[in-house]
Every structure is written in C-alpha cells, then in structure tokens.
Chains A and B, each alone.
Chain A
Amino acid sequence: MSEPKKVGRRTFLNYAIAVVATGVIVGAATYFAAPKAVETVTAPGTTVTTTKTVTTTVTGTPTTSPTTSPTTSPTAVPWEIYFPRADRILSEWELKWTGWGAKYLTKTDWVRSIDWGKIKPRFSGETVTMACEGVDISAPQTFKPAFEGLTGATLQLFGIPTETFHEKLMAEFTSGAGRYDTAELFGAWAQDYFPYMTDIRPFATQYGIDLRDIHPVFRMMNTGPNGELLGLVEDADLHVFIVRKNLLEKAGLDVPKTWDEVLEACKVLKPIGEKEGWYPWIIYFCAKGFLTFWYWENIALQFKDVTLTRPDSWEPNFIGDEEGGVRALEIIKELLKYSPPGNINNTYELGREQWLAGLGAMATSHQCWPRQSFDPGLSKISPLTTDNIIEIHPYPQGTTRREPCNWTTTYLGIPKTSKKQELAFLWSVVMCSQESSLLMGSHGTGVESGFVSVISNPEVWKGQPAYKAVWESAWTAATEPFVYIPEAYAIEEAAGAEIYRYLEGSVASAKEALKNAEDKVRSILQKAGYLEAGKKPPPYTVEEFCKLHNEVNPKP
C-alpha cells in the first residue's frame, strides 16, 4: 500500500493563489465582455431624452401587461422599467382584479411635474445618502434606479436595525456628524427630530410641489407651529377594522358597528372557533409600553368624553367624565379572552402573522394586515386562493365615531447638516410621490399612500380595499396631543405600563390603572413644565389643523 501523498504548505498556497487568480481573471473577463444594456429614459412630463448605461437586468417590461402601460400621456415614461417588482405584482393582480392597472397613474404625480432634463446636468455625478430602517430598505432600493436614472446622481443607502434606529439617529443628529442627507423618520416622535431638520417648504415651492395633496391627517405630526414641514410623507397608515366576513356569516352575524356588538360577536364566534382552530379576535400589545397605550387610546377615543387632555390645558383626561376610558380598558380585557392565549404580550408583527395564518376572525390594525391578507404569497386567507371574504371597515364606535388617533406616518427628513439638501429633496420626491407610494403599497410591505388623490380614488380601492376605509375615516381624525412635545415617547411608555397592569391583573380596577397612568403622565408633564398656567396643547384634530393653516378639510 502506497503512502498517501502529502501536500506541503507551499504547494497548497501556490494552488490557492492560482485558483483565486483564475477566478479574478474569469470574473473580470465576464464583466467586460458582457453586452451593455442601453436604456433610453424619457423624463416624465418632458420631451428631454437622456441615455444611461445600466448593468442590471430589468424584468417585467411593459410588454408583460399591455393594459398596465400608461396611456394617459404621449410623453409618459414606461414606469414598469423603474418599478419591475411592482409591475410584476400589478400584472398578476390585473388578471384577477379588474380595474387595477393603468387608471391609477396620475398626471399630477410629483415626479412627472418636475423637469428632470434640467436637473440632471446639475446633479450628475453627485452622491446623496439616506438612513433607513433595515427592514424597510427594499423600499428605497426599489426607487434607487429611477432616481439615479433621472438625476445622474448616486444614492447610498444605510440600513440601520429597527430596534436601534431611533437612538442611532438621535446620536447622529445630536453629534452633528452630517453623515446622512436624508433620513427615514417616525412621525410619532417627530418632536425629537424637529430641532435637527430642515423645513422642506422652500424646496417644494421651488419645484412646484403641491404639498396639500398629502392628506392633512398625515401632515399634522410633521408640521411645526409655524407650518414648517419636516419631510415628505413616505408611509401613511390609519387603523382599520378587518373581518373575515365568511366566518361571521356562518355564525349568522353582521359586521359589528360598535364595540358592544364586537364583544357580542366574539361570544358567538368563540365556540365555533374552538372547533375550527381559530379565535374571534387577534390582539397585540408588546407588553408594557407605548403600543398598549395606543391600543387603549384608539378605543377610548370612540367614547366622546375621553379627550386625552383637558381642552384648555395639558392636564391628562384619560378616564373621562362618563368613564369612557374605563369602558375602553374593560373592552380590551374582554377582547383578551377571545384572543389566542398569550396575546397580552404579543408583538405587532406576531399579531399580523397570526392574522395572516388564519388564526383570527376579527382584528383592528394598520392597513398592512388587510392588504397583506389579500396576497396569496403572504397570507393563508387570501380571497384570491381561498373561500375567505375579507372586509375592511372604519373602527367600531363607542359613544361617538372618531378615527383612532395613532396613525403612523414615516417621513423622509433632510437634516440641517446635509450639504446636498436640494438633491436630498429630489430624492424625497421620487421616493414619496403619489405613484411611488401606491406602488410600494402594491408590494404589500405595509408602506401605504397618504395622498388625497390616491386614497380617494375608487379605482384604487379595488386593488387596495383598505384605502376606502381610510378615506372615510381620515377626516374625523385627531392625533394625541402628546406627539407635539418631545416627551411623547416617555409619556406613551409610562401610560402604557400603567394600563398594562390592569390587563395582566396586578391592578384590580381599570379606573385605578388609568388614574395611575394619569399620575405618571402628569408627573412627566409637570417636570417638563407643561402644566404651568396658560399653557395648552396645540390643535390636534384635522378640522382644527385645517382651520389653523387656512386649508379646506378634504371631507369625502
């Protein structure tokens, strides 16, 4: 038997170097030998033609679905080139959902109203940076080629983990490092960012951007006391009420309109769900924290005596003169009985997964739950592939009808430290235009449109049914007053923790829990000086907001 041949260290290294070198040479040869795709891009709304070289493969050309090609303007850009993924989805949906297609494309889209032909020579070769939540990075990535094609500039994206996004941004802004030209910002904590952001209105005026197409409800949190707007709205969500109507029909129930009816329906549905493996309600809290507070205030505001603060002061008013707040908290405790075990500590994401997995008959949520319910790729209850009937309605009522106040708005802000603010603004326009937002919505990622021209369009409702409920709800909306002060997050966290105590059973009565929450919030407000005489919260209903800024409330 011959002894196996030993490979020496030097021989091994030689072989390894040879393999790496061969790889590099072959790779380089392939790169340079590959034919370059030459793509002609016509800037929207203009006749200026520019040429750029791309090395990526563009899928989903306009030929995949002729009906989705825009026919409204002879100079219109074939948008499918810019939005290949969206186009693929749209063409799929077109087959199944009539009316969903080219009709939504609008001439008033901001991207179309800008003369990109004049812009490109000015910014070609420059680089603009953006900080975004890592989980959302697919959104800017989708529009990056479009922006780079239109401006000739390069966009650099920095994804930051969601869990640490807020504190990292704050550290960035407070240090004045100026690393980012644009940053994705969460509207609920806009006050934290205000001191570091640029007012975008002068840029909007310069480029003829009509900001009033963003529904006032989605501008309120990002608007300063003098009307300054700290970013274009990227993602706009309202809370809606979703039901699997087929399950209700099977139990002989109509869609509940009030919270009392919801609880009655839960009672009837529970035994049926136990047999079939689902629960009447899906709830999420994320344990003690702001989400618990949000969940409560959404329901509490359906009781007219609850106003969160007294009308003429910052004094908390959670309980209400007729104890509407108490009733709201009791409703949540009841709902917990009809939810999957453990939902008291459920995260928002897990709640959504439970809903999409078909574990619930009813729920309240942002629009992403219902939107994703329809997508067979994301949902087990899609009406496109199952017998489920999913309906989206405005929130159930208490003693009044108000839109839940904690809509979420994500916006693209431009830090004062940015040296490329104009280019950063142009990126915001591409990322946050009417069509971009609608196309992002069609991805089912949860990024939704907040434009009046989009959410009020009945054609759009066919593909995005939640928008109808949003449009019907948005004009009655109010925000919580706390979002106008930098202590918002601390207040929500503190109040959420107190409210949670009643739900977990460590505080015996709902009233006591709310009283404790009021005390905690009062203490924070006191420390920060808001309870001093004469100080009162700014207007926080859509109607008041419109009045203050001389706008017409876009009631449906």
Chain B
Amino acid sequence: MRKLNLGLLLSIPALIYLFFWLFFPFLYNIYASLYYWTMYNPNIKFIGAGNYIAAFADIDFRNSVFATFFYTVICYMVELPLGLGIAVFLSRDFKGVGIVRLLIAIPILMMPIGVSVMWKLLTMPKIGLLQYFSEVLGFGVIDFYGNFWFASLLILLIDAWQWTPFFAIVLLAALLSLPREPYEAAKIDCASSFMIFTRITLPSIQPVIVIVSILRILDLMKLSDPIFTITMGGSGTETLSAYIYRVAFKPLDIGYGGAVAVLYWILMYVLANILVRRFRSVIQ
C-alpha cells in the first residue's frame, strides 16, 4: 500500500504535465468548438453542433479531406518503393558507399518550407530551370501552381525528394542488421535474386516497413508546407492542415477552427487505430 502511494506521488508531476499540456488543451478545444467564438468579438454564443454542421456543409472542408488522403496515398506509394530500392542499393558494398549514404540523408535535414521554396524557384515560369528545359523540349511553360494535376505532381516531387531518404535510411538500417546465414543458404539452393528478395529480405524487414509506414502515413496526413508554398491551398490542393490554418488562424475563429481540429483528430485517431490493429501481428 505504501509502495502504491509512493508510486502515485512520483507520478504526480508527469500527470500534471500531461493534464496541462495535453488533456486540458484538448478538452478546452472541444469546449470551444461548441461556441461561436472569435478573438475579435467579445460576444461568445453557445451553438452546440453548429460549427460541426458548418464544417460538413463546407465544400472546402470536404475537398480538403479528399486532398489529404490523395496526397497521403500517392506520396506513400511513390516513397516506399523508391526508398526500399535505394536502401537495397546502398546495402551493397561499393566504393564511396559511405559518402552516398551520407548524401542521401541531406534532404531530411533541410527545412520543409525551404525545400518547397527551392522547388518553386526551379519551376517558376520563364525563370526556373525546369521550365527552361520544358520550353527547350517543346512542352512550353507548365502551369505547376494553378493546374491541379501539375501542382500535385510538384507537391509529390517535393515530398518524395525530401522524405524518400527517410524510408531509405530506416530500411537500410534494417537490411544491414539482417543475418547473413539465410542468404548463404539460399545461394547454395540456387535461389534467384528475386526469390531471395521476396522470400527472405522482404519478410525479414516487414515489421520495420510497417512501423516506418505508419509513421510516414500519419506524417503525410499533416502535409502543409509544400501546399502553402506552391499553391497557397488553391486549385483543389488544400489539405486539412492548410484548411485548418486558413479557417482558424487567419480569421481568428476559435470555435470553427476548434471544431475542424476535433474532426481532424477523430480522423487521425481512427486511421492510426486501423493501421495499428491491422498490422499488430506483424509488429509484434
């Protein structure tokens, strides 16, 4: 009993921290979402589910949910295979492999907004290098900022350029930690490279792939930097994060912004749970 009390006592600082920095803001946000509440207007009105209804009625909200999933899926589908390929390539021993492994990590260390600006400069009409090549090759000036498909392509490029190395580095670490014996046995049995890869390598690193995928998918759901830089959320590219910023912080609408943030949290919670439950056996 005394031990239990001491344990509780020692947990109090952590509980206080959690309450003030996690639970209280979260609960306060739910409370705020039930009110018509803006920072510039002292009259706060209780409107119940009004903000939630308004969110579902807003076409921009629905579009931003679509855009969020769209970018999550396409970025993930490109980055994982590419990252795995790079990891396999870098797991081999060749001259200068150490330098290449170091260089591949550079994009991750850069500020996301800086990366987006760099790509924007590359794609600026009449000024950017990519636009120059496009014109030289006869494609003319490409509308990377106003056309949904080209803008999405650029957003994908930016995200893949920066975050494919994340997959590569984590998967490379997993590959390098694999034991050599199964590979030697497979070679003795004359297994092809493809068979070795699909039957030994992939199953061996599957838990790492799952964990890195969950982390990356949840991160992609928060995509906002390239959106702000490339399109300012226009032309159908506005993700949920960008939408929340626009509706909450720009007009200082605490109530509506809070409601959308709660919906966003529910979405993330459900998604995280599905992913973890689906792959629990693999992780364990």
Contacts and interface: CB of A to CB of B under 8 A. Distances in A.
B143 A359 contact: no
A484 interface: no
B199 to A, nearest CB: 48
A104 interface: no
B39 A489 contact: no
Given A288-B60, A342-B145, A167 B39 contact: yes
Of B36, B145, B230, B238, the most chain A CB neighbours within 10 A belong to B145
B110 to A, nearest CB: 20
Contacts of A285: 234
A359 B39 contact: no
Contacts of A278: 126
A72 to B, nearest CB: 46
Nearest to B38: A490
B5 interface: no
A170 B252 contact: yes
A171 B39 CA distance: 8
Of B126, B236, B251, the most chain A CB neighbours within 10 A belong to B251
Nearest to B247: A493
B151 to A, nearest CB: 8
Interface in B124-180: 125-127, 141-147, 151
B125 A486 contact: no
Of A189, A341, A346, the most chain B CB neighbours within 10 A belong to A341
A342 B249 contact: no
Contacts of B146: 341-345, 504
Contact of B141 (A167, A289, A340): A340
Interface residues on B, range: 20 to 34
B281 interface: no
A170 B40 contact: yes
A527 interface: yes
B250 interface: yes
A292 B38 CA distance: 22
Nearest to A358: B126
A286 interface: yes
A342 B144 contact: yes
Interface residues of A, number: 37
B246 interface: yes
Contact of B232 (A166, A286, A340, A506): A286
Q: Binding site of A, secondary structure by majority: helix, strand, loop or mixed?
A: helix
B233 A288 contact: yes
Interface string A327-361: 00000000000001111111100000000010100
B192 interface: no
Contacts of A489: 40, 250-252
Interface string B213-231: 0000000000000000011
Given A170-B40, A489-B251, A497-B60, A344 B235 contact: yes
Contact of B145 (A345, A487, A493, A497): A345
A170 B125 contact: no
B136 to A, nearest CB: 13
A46 B144 CA distance: 61
B284 interface: no
A174 interface: yes
Interface in A506-556: 506, 527-528
B40 A289 contact: no
A166 B248 CA distance: 13
A181 interface: no
B232 A490 contact: no
Given A170-B39, A344-B234, A504-B234, A289 B143 contact: no
A288 B38 CA distance: 20
Contact of B41 (A189, A504, A506, A528): A528
A549 B204 CA distance: 81
Contacts of B79: none
A345 B234 contact: yes
Interface string B7-35: 00000000000000000000000000000
B122 to A, nearest CB: 13
A497 B236 CA distance: 12
B41 to A, nearest CB: 6
B125 A341 contact: yes
Given A344-B146, A345-B234, A289 B125 contact: no
Given A277-B126, A486-B40, A288 B246 contact: yes
A210 B38 CA distance: 37
A173 B36 CA distance: 20
A395 to B, nearest CB: 25
Contacts of A359: 125-127
Contact of B251 (A174, A286, A490): A490
B142 A174 contact: no
A287 interface: yes
A239 to B, nearest CB: 21
B143 A341 contact: yes
Contact of B36 (A342, A345, A504, A527): A527
A462 B142 CA distance: 40
A191 B251 CA distance: 13
B250 A289 contact: yes
Contacts of A345: 145-146, 151, 230-232, 234-235
Contacts of A341: 125, 141-147
A467 interface: no
Given A345-B234, A504-B234, A357 B127 contact: yes
Nearest to B142: A341
A140 B151 CA distance: 39
Contacts of A171: 39
Given A170-B39, A170-B40, A341-B146, 15 more contacts: A170-B252, A189-B40, A288-B60, A288-B238, A288-B246, A289-B250, A340-B126, A341-B141, A341-B147, A342-B144, A343-B146, A345-B151, A486-B41, A487-B41, A506-B236
- A-B CB proximity, top 9 nearest: A342-B145, A287-B234, A341-B143, A287-B232, A345-B234, A490-B251, A486-B40, A342-B146, A344-B146
14 contacts: A167-B249, A192-B39, A195-B42, A287-B232, A287-B235, A289-B246, A341-B125, A342-B143, A342-B145, A345-B230, A489-B250, A489-B251, A490-B253, A500-B234
Interface of B: 36, 38-42, 59-60, 125-127, 141-147, 151, 230-236, 238, 246, 249-253
